[in-house]
A and B are shown apart, each in its own frame.
Chain A
Amino acid sequence: MTKTLSDLETADNPQATERIVIEPLTRVEGHGKVTLLQGKDGNIVQARLHITEFRGFEKFIQGRPYWELPVLVQRLCGICPVSHHLAAAKATDMIVGASELTPTADKIRRLMHFGQTLQSHALHFFHLCSPDLLFGFDDEVRHRNIVGVIEDSPEIAKQGVLLRKYGQEVIRITSGKRIHGTGAIPGGINKSLSENEVRYLQQDIAQIIGWAQEAVNLVKKIFFEHYDYHLAFASINSNMMSVVRPDGAFELYDGGLRARDPHGDSIFDHVDYRTYDDYIRESVKNWSYMKFPFITSIGQENGWYRVGPLARVNNCDFFPTPLAEAERREFAAIGNGLPVQATMAFHWARLIELLHCTEAIAELLCDRDLIGTELRNTGELQCCGTGVIEAPRGTLFHHYEIDDNGIVVKASLIVSTTNNNQAMNESIRKVANQYLDGKRLTEALLNQVEVAIRAYDPCLSCATHAIGKMPMEISLLGEQDELLDRLEKRVTGQINRTL
C-alpha cells in the first residue's frame, strides 16, 4: 500500500525500520539533522528534521529589565538580530504605553527593517540558494556551491556582495552601529537620520533597484526553464500565514494576521496580533526540542502552515510599490487562482520581496520624517507586551510579561523557523519518499534533502561558529540504533565514509 505523507509522520512499526541520520546541514546553521526511517521494503516511512538549538531563549530573557530587551534579544541570533531587535521593540512599545509611534520613529524602524530584509534575501539568493537554481540538482556537488557561482557568474556574486552590503549600511545608519545597534527603544527610536546620512544612502539606491530587478528576472528565467520540475519539487499543500496591512497590502513591519487554506480561502483575517495565542497553539513532540505551531481552529493534524516569502506573496492582495506589484501578478498567475504551493517558488517570492524592499527604501529616503526630531512616545506602563513582525524568514512573535519593577517574568517567542517546522518536515518527506531508496547514503540524496530545506532559508543558528565545530555527518542506523553506514563531510569539503 502506498504511504501518504501523513502516514509517514509516525511509522506503523518503528522497530522494523532503519534510521538514516544526516547532520548537520551544509548552508544551514546549527546542529540540525535529518532522520529518515527506512522500512524493510526500502521505502522511507518516516522523516524528521531535528533542530536542537532553540533552547534557553526564554530563560535567557527572564529576569532582565524590559528596557534592555531590544538590545538583549539581538544576541539570540547572529543571522537576524535586527528582526529580534524590532519585534522586542514593538513589544516594549506596548509595555511603555506607546499606542503609536511618532512618524519619524515609525519610518526609521521601517527603513531599518527593509534594510534587514534586503541584506538577508540578498545573501540567500546570491550565495546560499543560487547554486541550487543556477546549476540544477544534478550538477557536480563541488560546483554547486558558491565557488561555482563566482566562477561561472562573477557579476552575480559581486552584486550579491554589494546588495548585502547596502542593506547592512541601512542597518548601520538607522541603528547607529554595525551590530548591537540601539536604534529602536521602548516607545520609539534614539536617533533620527541626518541630511548627510540620507544623501549617503540615496546615492546608490537606483543601482540597487536595478540589480534587484535583474535578480527577479534571473530567478524567473531559471524557474521557467525547468518549470514542471520546480513546480513539483518538494511541493506540498499547506495553509499560509502572514501579516498584511489593513487594506490587504503586503506588509513586513506592522499589520493584522491573515491565514489562508490551500484553496486560498480565509481561515482568519486582520487578526490583532496581540491576540495571536487565541489563534495559534504549539504542540511538542518527543523527538524535537523545537515546537510545532498550528492553527487552533483547524487542529494539530492539519493546522500547520507556512510563513515567509511564499506565504506573504501569496497572502497579500497587492504590493504598494509598482515594480514588485507587477512581479507579484506574474507570480500569482502560475497558481491559476490558487496559492502557489511550489516550495522552490520560495526563491522567486523572496526576490519579489527584495525588489519591494529596494523600492520602499528609495521611497522612504525621500521622506522628510526621517530627519524629524520627535523620536519617542510613552504612556502608562503596562504589565505585558506583544511584538510581531515579518522577519525575512517569516512571522516572528515576541511576548513579554513584567513585574512591578519592570523585570521580565515571562517571555514567549515563536521564531520564523519554528513556524515553518512542520512544513519543512512535510517537504523533506516529499523529497525523501521520491528520491531515497536503498540503504546506502549518497551525496546526491543528501543534496536533494538539503535543497528542499534550504528553500525555507531556515535559521538553525544562534551564532556560535567556533572554528572546527561544523563537520557534516550522515549516519545510517539500524533497527536497534546500530550504525550501518556513515558519511562525514568536513568544512574543507572532504567527504569520508567513517564506518
Chain B
Amino acid sequence: MPAPNLIFTYGNPSRGDDALGPTLFEMLEKHKLETNELDDVDLLTDFQLQIEHAVDLEERRHILFVDAGISCAAPYELHQLQAERDDSFTTHAMSPAAVLAVYQQIHKHEPPPASLLMIRAYEFGLGQPMSAQAIANLQEAYRYIIEHETANPTGAKYI
C-alpha cells in the first residue's frame, strides 16, 4: 500500500545543478531514516519523468514533484499543477503536468492534487558539481519541505 503522499524528485546527479532533485531525495531519505518523521510520505527519484510514472501516482493524496528550474526565481518556486497535454508528451522526458495527463487518460478520472517545486538551477555540465548558488537554494527548499511536512502531517500538502 503506497503512502498517501509522494515526493518525486528527478534529475541527473552527474549533470551539475540537475542534481538538485536527486540530492534533495537523499537528504529527505536520510531525514526520514534518522527521525522517523515523514511517515506518510513515499520518496521516489528518477533521471526524468516518463509515462510509466503515472502508475506511481495511483492511490495518492498528494504528489510533490521537485525539479531543477532555470526559469524560476531563487531559491525556489512552488506551483500547483493541472493535468496538461503539452508537447513534452512526445519526448523522452515529460513534464509533471503531462504525467498527470497520462494518469487522467488511463484511469479516466482526475489525478491526485499535485504541486511542482522548482529549485533555481544554473549550470548543467556533465561531471560538474552543483553550483554554490544551487546548493544554497537546495538548503532553503529542504527546510521548507521539512517544515511544511511537520506542520501538516496528515493534511493536504502544498495546496
Chain A residues engaging chain B, CB cutoff 8 angstroms = 26-29, 55-57, 59-60, 72, 75-76, 78-79, 81, 119, 123, 127-128, 131, 145-147, 150, 154, 157-158, 160-161, 164-165, 168, 178-180, 459, 461-470, 489-493
Residue of A nearest to B121 (CB): A466
Q: How far is the CB of A207 from chain B (nearest CB, A)?
A: 15
Complexed CA–CA distance, A128 and B116 (Å): 25
B70 at the interface (CB under 8 A from A): yes
* Contact across chains for A463 and B15 when beta carbons are under 8 A apart: yes
Quick one: which of A154, A158, A179, A466 contacts B68, CB cutoff 8 A?
Answer: A466
Chain B residues engaging chain A, CB cutoff 8 angstroms = 10-15, 17-18, 44-48, 50-52, 54-55, 67-72, 85-93, 95, 102, 105-106, 116, 118, 121, 124-127
- B52, B85, B102: which has the most chain A beta carbons within 10 Å? B52
* Contact across chains for B86 and A60 when beta carbons are under 8 A apart: no
Q: Knowing that A75-B13, A119-B52 are A-B contacts, what are 16 other residue pairs whose CB atoms are under 8 Å apart, sorted by A's residue number?
A: A26-B90, A60-B126, A75-B15, A78-B12, A78-B47, A78-B48, A131-B90, A145-B90, A161-B54, A178-B44, A463-B18, A464-B12, A464-B124, A466-B68, A467-B118, A491-B95
Q: Name B's interface SS.
A: loop
Quick one: given A60-B126, A168-B52, are A161 and B102 in contact (CB under 8 Å)? yes
- B89, B92, B93, B127: which has the most chain A beta carbons within 10 Å? B92
Complexed CA–CA distance, A482 and B124 (Å): 30
Q: How far is the CB of B56 from chain A (nearest CB, A)?
A: 9
* Contact across chains for A466 and B90 when beta carbons are under 8 A apart: no
Residue of B nearest to A468 (CB): B71
* Contact across chains for A463 and B67 when beta carbons are under 8 A apart: no
Residues of A within 8 A of B106 (CB): 154, 157-158, 161
Residues of B within 8 A of A461 (CB): 92-93
* Contact across chains for A27 and B13 when beta carbons are under 8 A apart: no
Quick one: given A56-B127, A466-B68, A467-B70, are A493 and B12 in contact (CB under 8 Å)? no
Residues of B within 8 A of A179 (CB): 45-47
Quick one: given A147-B85, A463-B48, A465-B93, are A57 and B126 in contact (CB under 8 Å)? yes
Complexed CA–CA distance, A27 and B46 (Å): 19
* Contact across chains for A469 and B70 when beta carbons are under 8 A apart: yes
Residues of B within 8 A of A490 (CB): 87
* Contact across chains for A127 and B51 when beta carbons are under 8 A apart: yes
Residue of B nearest to A158 (CB): B106
* Contact across chains for A128 and B69 when beta carbons are under 8 A apart: no
Residues of A within 8 A of B13 (CB): 75, 180
Residues of A within 8 A of B14 (CB): 60, 72, 75-76
* Contact across chains for B12 and A462 when beta carbons are under 8 A apart: yes
- A131, A180, A467: which has the most chain B beta carbons within 10 Å? A467
* Contact across chains for B126 and A56 when beta carbons are under 8 A apart: yes
Residues of B within 8 A of A491 (CB): 86-88, 95
Complexed CA–CA distance, A271 and B71 (Å): 50
Complexed CA–CA distance, A57 and B14 (Å): 11
Q: How far is the CB of B73 from chain A (nearest CB, A)?
A: 12
Residue of A nearest to B120 (CB): A466
Residue of B nearest to A120 (CB): B92
Residues of B within 8 A of A180 (CB): 13
Residues of B within 8 A of A468 (CB): 69-72
Quick one: which of B54, B55, B87, B126 contacts A493, CB cutoff 8 A?
Answer: B87
Q: How far is the CB of B48 from chain A (nearest CB, A)?
A: 5
Q: How far is the CB of A299 from chain B (nearest CB, A)?
A: 33
User: Can you offer 20 A-B residue contacts whose CB atoms are under 8 A?
Assistant: A26-B91, A29-B92, A29-B93, A56-B125, A60-B14, A60-B127, A78-B47, A127-B89, A145-B90, A157-B105, A164-B52, A165-B55, A179-B47, A459-B92, A463-B12, A463-B15, A463-B47, A464-B12, A464-B15, A491-B86
Complexed CA–CA distance, A128 and B51 (Å): 11
Residues of B within 8 A of A78 (CB): 12, 47-48, 92-93
Quick one: which of B70, B71, B90 contacts A27, CB cutoff 8 A?
Answer: B90
Residues of B within 8 A of A164 (CB): 50-52
Residues of B within 8 A of A459 (CB): 92
* Contact across chains for A467 and B71 when beta carbons are under 8 A apart: yes
Quick one: given A154-B105, A463-B18, are A123 and B51 in contact (CB under 8 Å)? yes
Residues of B within 8 A of A72 (CB): 14
* Contact across chains for A27 and B85 when beta carbons are under 8 A apart: no
Q: How far is the CB of B105 from chain A (nearest CB, A)?
A: 5
Residue of B nearest to A465 (CB): B93
Residue of A nearest to B102 (CB): A161
Complexed CA–CA distance, A56 and B14 (Å): 12
Q: How far is the CB of B42 from chain A (nearest CB, A)?
A: 12
Q: How far is the CB of A80 from chain B (nearest CB, A)?
A: 9
* Contact across chains for B87 and A466 when beta carbons are under 8 A apart: no
* Contact across chains for A161 and B85 when beta carbons are under 8 A apart: no
* Contact across chains for B50 and A150 when beta carbons are under 8 A apart: no
Complexed CA–CA distance, A274 and B56 (Å): 41
Residues of B within 8 A of A28 (CB): 91-92
Complexed CA–CA distance, A429 and B73 (Å): 43
* Contact across chains for A492 and B48 when beta carbons are under 8 A apart: no
Complexed CA–CA distance, A179 and B48 (Å): 11
Residue of B nearest to A128 (CB): B90
Q: How far is the CB of B132 from chain A (nearest CB, A)?
A: 18
Complexed CA–CA distance, A129 and B11 (Å): 25
Residue of A nearest to B54 (CB): A161
Complexed CA–CA distance, A190 and B67 (Å): 31
Residues of B within 8 A of A165 (CB): 52, 55
